[in-house]
Chains A and B, each alone.
Chain A
Amino acid sequence: MNKDSQGPLWEVFVQKKPGQPFVHCGNLHAFDKEMALQNARDLYTRRNEGTALWVVPTDAIVSSSPEDIGPFFEPANDKVFRHPTFYKLPEGIKHM
């Protein structure tokens, strides 16, 4: 291993409260799962940011690339009928 290596990258997701989605908040270096979890706790949750954590090896994430913007996302722009705007939300539904 490279002498200067700080270990592989991991992506960190924090859940603010139970039931809410895990939100990406940054990344870190770590050599194993337990270290990644502890580093995430020390880097991203010391100021009441959340109550649960996910850490994921960065290379396990499959990402679209900037060139994909056209074919992937633009066809959605002109099809309003795909949006549930004609649907009435029942009262008491949260996080929509």
Chain B
Amino acid sequence: MTKQEALFNYLLRLGDTSLILAQRNGEWCGHGPFLEEDLALTNIALDLIGQSNALLNYAAQVEGKGRTADELAFHRTEREFYNTILVEQSNGDYAKTILRQFLCDAFDFYLYTELVKSKDETLAAIAAKSIKEITYHLRHTSSWVERLGDGTEESHTRIQDALNELWRFTGELFEMNQVDTILIQEGIAVDLNLIKPMWESKIKEVLERATLKIPANAFMQRGSRDAKHTEHLGYILAEMQSLPRAFPDAKW
């Protein structure tokens, strides 16, 4: 694997993760628990689309085959997507959506904080812009996790159920392969072993305040580093890609 191929794959990982999470959050548009929170979540989705747009534009440029960010987003199949399997999980109730976003925000916070120092200038610039948005997302979702966990009996049960269901998808966030080895050597990518303890301690801190318990079951589902996904991604892509695939020249 060349450095260029590794960087292309790394950018797809980051860009696809933002894109699919944005698409999931976008499903809440007009359906939020109340107006203010509906807007807050779609604001987060828009930030994520912005990040994804920057990352996939750069990925297309690095690939150098004349593809655009739109072509990467709308004309790849399920087995060509590298988003984490955590972000493709269904929205469920608002507790599950918030918890999924919180787990991702905490991960992104430490990842992008390190990426700001990347030797790849474009990636560092994208990270510097994104980290401000991510810092706010983390503040917003942390306070919601706390509010729901330490709220009523029903809200506590719902968000604890969400944690029990989603925890198994957090293991692969830190999985590394040849792509990481090559890019860490070049000072481009982040050593995920480095940020894992920071992520764990942040999660622990917020979950403790929220009176929530990390499930004891240690099984961790993996797959996305090999572009293997859960059953959800196909449906997301079908909806997200149907228009540009049916009308490839459509402009709006």
A residues in contact with B40, CB < 8 Å: 38-39, 42
B residues in contact with A39, CB < 8 Å: 36-37, 39-40
Tell me how many residue pairs across A and B have CB atoms closer than 8 Å. Answer: 30
Contact sample, A vs B, 10 pairs, CB 8 Å cutoff? A6-B34, A6-B36, A29-B34, A31-B147, A35-B143, A35-B147, A38-B140, A39-B37, A39-B40, A42-B36
Q: Does A28 contact B (CB under 8 A)?
A: yes
Q: How many residues of chain B have a CB within 8 Å of chain A?
A: 12
A residues bordering B, Cβ < 8 Å? Answer: 6-7, 28-32, 34-35, 38-39, 41-43, 46
A43 and B39 within 8 A (CB) = yes
B35 and A38 within 8 A (CB) = no
Minimum C-beta distance from B127 to chain A (A): 21
A38 and B139 within 8 A (CB) = yes
A82 to B147, CA, bound (A): 52
Minimum C-beta distance from A3 to chain B (A): 12
A29 to B33, CA, bound (A): 12
A41 to B43, CA, bound (A): 11
A31 to B140, CA, bound (A): 14
A30 to B43, CA, bound (A): 17
A residues in contact with B143, CB < 8 Å: 34-35, 38
A29 and B39 within 8 A (CB) = no
The 0/1 profile, CB within 8 Å of A marked 1, for residues 4-37 of chain B is 0000000000000000000000000000001111
Chain B 217-247 interface residues, beta-carbon cutoff 8 Å to A: none
Of the candidates A30, A32, A34, A46, the one whose C-beta lies within 8 Å of that of B36 is A30
A35 to B36, CA, bound (A): 10
A31 to B143, CA, bound (A): 12
Minimum C-beta distance from A6 to chain B (A): 4
Among A39, A42, A43, max chain B CB count under 10 A is at A42
Of the candidates B35, B43, B136, B139, the one whose C-beta lies within 8 Å of that of A6 is B35
Minimum C-beta distance from B1 to chain A (A): 41
B39 and A42 within 8 A (CB) = yes
